């Protein structure tokens, strides 16, 4: 174990005492009624400070509620930090998120979301990105022992071990969840013992001994950079305050509080520093930093509360798209080839990977096997194992890893084997990926490809069309092509986009549909609909397979109707639909997904509001029955699918 002479004693003491003095100031403000909420790390400072003190500038840290010492030790300026903590102008999130729920890339910090353990897979992506860039850096992710029961913990440590990533997973084992003792939540409270099951180095550390923490972090960092893979550090400490200040500590036995009070990390460090930093010098440092903290806190409280404008808030939901210098946004320029829908997807993906070596492909069975639908067949041979990566069966862990790669400046494309399985990664998509740019301004260019839809007799877990779930998620773009040309052009635009994009590929169309596709890397802008057929008596809006239902019906019966393929659901082309409805005066929206709560309801409601005076009939919606999709194709076609109800609906609309 290192002794005090091995470090800059004064620098270490300043690093340790700063978060403690901020804690004390915050607790006084709470008691005075001048601060409403605070998550205290009082008594746990040695872990955050010791970790940050020995890391290199290029390393990335993913802290949590009680890791104030990460921010202060990494040199984050106190004035904006206090504005952030107090919800005042001048903070890091413009009032859009609280305390430590944000990142500061220039300080190598990526903050948390409230869903504990969610950032652990993100650490994997950041570590992989650093390795692919040839940087000698590690990612360090914090989690409480209670959250090690969550799936993201197990998915993250599993993937890190399989890929030998330089990640350090720190478990702050402080004895309690909110109020539940560890012994009631974990069958084995010594979390480090899980490391053996994942083939990774793991050990327990005295989390209140800053020197022990530094020693463990140095060794873990060296191990990771030498190719030894991740490390799990089970750091034992104690939470001397409540889960958050309002919850108190009445549920903690007093004898436990008394015991841990004798193991205070500041007192422990003072004893070890001994003569190198005598009591007079320590008192002077305390007084100096205490005055600074007090002055900055009082100053922050005088700053204006955060305000904003509707336009500014809306503008920051998505990162702006930087136009490509060579982008061709036409639909039909140059030579074309007649190819299947699936081949167009493959062509788009291969084109993107050839154009930009920062485009990576990940997913289950996508490498040697080429994916269950063979979209990526041959990619491993062309692009290599670093850019075509099989993942374990870990949808949440894979999405989080893709997010980390996106934050590291890569353009990951993650294949979700079947859209139905995306539910296992739901939290990472809707709460992490989709919110990041709005909350703290970082673009995250991640493309999630997912085969979707029914019509092939695949049953209730391989046939769902639940795109409406994600259309309700601000910050996520949703793309749903219905033609081979659109599949290629929209996929290229999705990968270019600096925002998370859910790219839905109807698997029934994969091998049943052919069409002309430009040889050139033609981009189709997201949010622009396509008029498939022109007419004057009604407007039919559809996407995916439903475009072909409606087109076939119109051709078969000679219908004089506009058919509009939205192509992109978020954002959707309101103006194209409005322009059509103003001419035809009737609207029918058709989709494969269940009718109730489907995205068609949003379109019908919006058009009714914006074009009510133009309508000669109530807007109609056709969707699937409100039931799981049956395995029997006969039941699906005759009962579940809206396709069977489409002819009557069109006749009713035209006859109204």
Largest Cα separation within the chain, whole Å, is 95
Cβ pair 351, 517 in contact under 8 A: no
Residue 458: strand, helix, or coil: coil
234-243 burial string, b = 16+ CB within 10 Å, else e?
Answer: bbbbbbbbbb
Q: Which two tokens stand for residue 64?
A: 């949590």
Extended strands (E) in 207-313 = 231-236
Contacts of 588 (CB under 8 A, 6+ apart): 538, 539, 540, 541, 619, 620, 621, 622, 649, 650, 653
Cβ pair 405, 412 in contact under 8 A: yes
Q: Which of 23, 45, 395, 592 is catalytic?
A: 395
Q: Is 395 a catalytic residue?
A: yes
**CA 637, CA 647: separation in Å to the nearest integer?**
14
Q: Which two tokens stand for residue 483?
A: 């033609």
Contacts of 22 (CB under 8 A, 6+ apart): 68, 72, 293, 297
**CA 110, CA 96: separation in Å to the nearest integer?**
16
Cβ pair 35, 25 in contact under 8 A: no
Residue 119: strand, helix, or coil: helix
Of residues 390, 412, 389, 386, the one with CA closest to residue 400: 412
Residues in the chain: 656
Which residues are registered as beta bridge partners of 170? 142, 233
The CA distances from residue 356 to 326, 389, 398, 436, 521, in Å, are 13, 17, 21, 24, 12
Q: State phi, psi for 653 to the nearest 5 degrees.
A: -65, -45
Cβ pair 122, 432 in contact under 8 A: yes
Long-range contacts of 24-33 (CB under 8 A, 24+ apart): 25/293, 25/294, 25/297, 26/85, 26/297, 27/241, 27/245, 29/297, 29/301, 30/245
| Tokens 């690093």 belong to residue | 15
Residue 415: strand, helix, or coil: strand
Q: Which two tokens stand for residue 107?
A: 């300080």
Burial of 256 (0-12, 13-18, 19+ CB in 10 A): middle
Cβ pair 586, 617 in contact under 8 A: yes
Which residues are registered as beta bridge partners of 533? 563
Q: Is 462 a catalytic residue?
A: yes
Sheet with 568-570, side-by-side order of all strands:
388-390, 359-363, 411-415, 447-452, 501-506, 477-479, 568-570
Q: Which of 236, 268, 462, 591 is catalytic?
A: 462
The CA distances from residue 353 to 198, 302, 349, 408, in Å, are 32, 51, 6, 17
Contacts of 60 (CB under 8 A, 6+ apart): 108, 109, 110, 123, 126, 127, 130, 137, 138, 139, 140
Cβ pair 243, 304 in contact under 8 A: no
Cβ pair 445, 535 in contact under 8 A: no
Cis peptide before 571 (omega within 30 of 0): yes
List the helix and strand counts (H, then E) for the chain: 24, 21
**CA 319, CA 336: separation in Å to the nearest integer?**
32
| Tokens 């989690």 belong to residue | 143
Catalytic residues: 395, 462
């Amino acid at each position: 174990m290192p002794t005090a002479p091995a470090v800059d004693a004064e620098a270490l003491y300043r690093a340790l005492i700063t978060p403690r003095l901020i804690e004390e100031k915050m607790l006084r403000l709470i008691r005075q009624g001048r601060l409403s909420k605070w998550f205290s790390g009082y008594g746990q400072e040695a872990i955050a400070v010791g970790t940050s003190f020995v890391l290199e500038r290029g390393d990335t840290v993913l802290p949590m509620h009680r890791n104030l010492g990460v921010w202060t030790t990494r040199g984050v300026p106190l004035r904006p930090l206090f504005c952030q903590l107090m919800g005042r102008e001048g903070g890091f999130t413009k009032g859009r998120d609280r305390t430590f729920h944000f990142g500061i890339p220039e300080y190598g910090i990526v903050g948390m979301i409230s869903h504990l353990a969610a950032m652990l897979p993100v650490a994997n992506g950041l570590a992989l990105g650093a390795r692919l860039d040839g940087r000698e850096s590690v990612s360090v992710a914090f989690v409480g022992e209670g959250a090690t029961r969550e799936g993201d913990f197990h998915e993250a440590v599993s993937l890190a071990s399989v890929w030998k990533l330089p990640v350090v997973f720190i478990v702050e084992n402080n004895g309690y969840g909110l109020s539940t003792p560890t012994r009631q939540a974990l069958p084995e409270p010594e979390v480090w013992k899980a490391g053996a099951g994942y083939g990774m180095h793991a050990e327990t550390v005295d989390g209140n001994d800053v020197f022990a923490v530094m020693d463990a972090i140095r060794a873990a960092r060296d191990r990771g950079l030498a190719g030894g893979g991740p490390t799990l550090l089970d750091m034992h400490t104690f939470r001397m305050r409540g889960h958050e200040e309002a919850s108190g500590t009445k549920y903690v036995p007093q004898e436990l509080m008394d015991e841990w009070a004798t193991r205070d990390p500041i007192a422990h460090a003072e004893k070890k520093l001994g003569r190198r930093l005598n009591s007079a010098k320590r008192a002077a440092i305390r007084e100096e930093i205490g005055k600074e903290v007090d002055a900055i806190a009082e100053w922050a409280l005088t700053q204006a509360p955060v305000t904003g404008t509707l336009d500014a808030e809306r503008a920051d939901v998505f990162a702006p798209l930087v136009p490509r210098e060579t982008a061709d946004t036409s639909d039909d320029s140059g030579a074309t080839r007649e190819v299947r829908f699936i081949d167009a997807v493959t062509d788009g993906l291969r084109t993107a990977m050839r154009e930009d070596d920062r485009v990576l492909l990940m997913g289950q069975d996508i490498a040697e096997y080429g994916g269950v639908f063979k979209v990526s067949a041959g990619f491993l041979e062309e692009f290599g194992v670093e850019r075509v990566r099989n993942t374990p069966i870990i949808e949440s862990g894979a999405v989080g890893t893709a997010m980390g790669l996106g934050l590291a400046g890569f353009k990951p494309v993650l294949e979700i084997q079947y859209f139905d399985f995306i539910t296992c990664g739901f939290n990472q998509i809707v709460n992490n990926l989709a919110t990041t740019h709005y909350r703290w301004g970082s673009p995250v260019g991640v493309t999630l490809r997912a085969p979707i839809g029914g019509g092939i007799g695949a049953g209730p877990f391989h046939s769902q069309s639940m795109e409406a779930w994600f259309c309700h998620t601000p910050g996520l773009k949703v793309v749903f092509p219905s033609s081979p040309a659109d599949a290629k052009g929209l996929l290229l635009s999705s990968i270019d986009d600096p925002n998370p994009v859910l790219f839905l590929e109807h698997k029934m169309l994969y091998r049943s549909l052919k069409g002309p596709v430009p040889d050139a890397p033609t981009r189709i802008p997201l949010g622009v609909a396509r008029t498939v057929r022109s007419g004057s008596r009604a407007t039919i809006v559809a996407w995916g397979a439903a475009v072909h239902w409606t087109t076939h019906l119109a051709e078969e019966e000679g219908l004089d109707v506009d058919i509009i393929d939205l192509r992109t659901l978020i954002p959707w082309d309101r103006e194209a639909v409005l322009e059509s409805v103003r001419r035809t005066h009737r609207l029918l929206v058709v989709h494969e997904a269940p009718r109730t709560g489907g995205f068609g309801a949003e379109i019908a409601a919006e058009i009714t509001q914006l074009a009510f005076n133009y309508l000669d009939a109530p807007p109609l919606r056709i969707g699937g029955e409100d039931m799981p999709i049956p395995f029997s194709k006969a039941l699906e076609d005759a009962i579940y699918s809206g396709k069977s109800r489409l002819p009557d609906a069109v006749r009713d609309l035209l006859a109204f």
